[in-house]
């Protein structure tokens, strides 16, 4: 038999270009931390690209040193969906207790499709 064979998938709709481009972001998860809740968002593809590019400009040591803080700056939002932190907060976030920050980082990585391998590559450990 020559040619391509179609594989049938049950109850799945093939999305059109317009349907995909009409999708809105807005996924988030509230994470218990610091005696309250921290809202972590799934960011756009463009925001993730900018995050990755911003890390490339740093030395390997700085990428590893501030990875968690930079990830939180990119993904933590307030109840209106505005960024909770700015780049000027990286140094302060880096000084927070690791045990409190790590659960937030884990959710940020999961929501944004960052695997442990992605993290190693971004930090320069690959």
69-123 tens-digit pLDDT: 999 999 999 999 999 999 999 999 999 999 999 999 999 999 998 877 777 777 6
Q: How far is it between the farthest Cα atoms of the chain? A: 63
Nearest to 47 by CA among 123, 115, 108, 91: 108
Residues β-bridged to residue 39: 30, 77
What span, in angstroms and rounded, lies between the C-alpha atoms of 108 and 30?
Answer: 10
CB 113 within 8 A of CB 47: no
What span, in angstroms and rounded, lies between the C-alpha atoms of 109 and 14?
Answer: 28
Asked whether the whole model's pTM tops 0.75, one would answer: yes
Question: Which domains, and CATH codes, for the chain?
Answer: 26-123 (3.30.2220.20)
């Amino acid at each position: 038999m020559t040619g391509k064979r179609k594989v049938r998938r049950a109850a799945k709709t093939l999305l059109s270009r317009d349907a995909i481009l009409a999708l809105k972001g807005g996924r988030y998860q509230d994470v218990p931390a610091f005696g309250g809740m921290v809202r972590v968002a799934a960011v756009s593809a463009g925001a993730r690209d900018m995050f990755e590019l911003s890390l490339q400009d740093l030395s390997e040591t700085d990428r590893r040193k501030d990875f968690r803080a930079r990830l939180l700056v990119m993904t933590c939002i307030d109840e209106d969906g505005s960024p909770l932190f700015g780049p000027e907060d990286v140094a302060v976030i880096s000084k927070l207790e690791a045990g409190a920050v790590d659960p937030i980082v884990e959710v940020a990585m999961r929501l944004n499709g960052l695997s442990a391998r992605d993290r190693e590559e971004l930090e320069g450990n690959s």
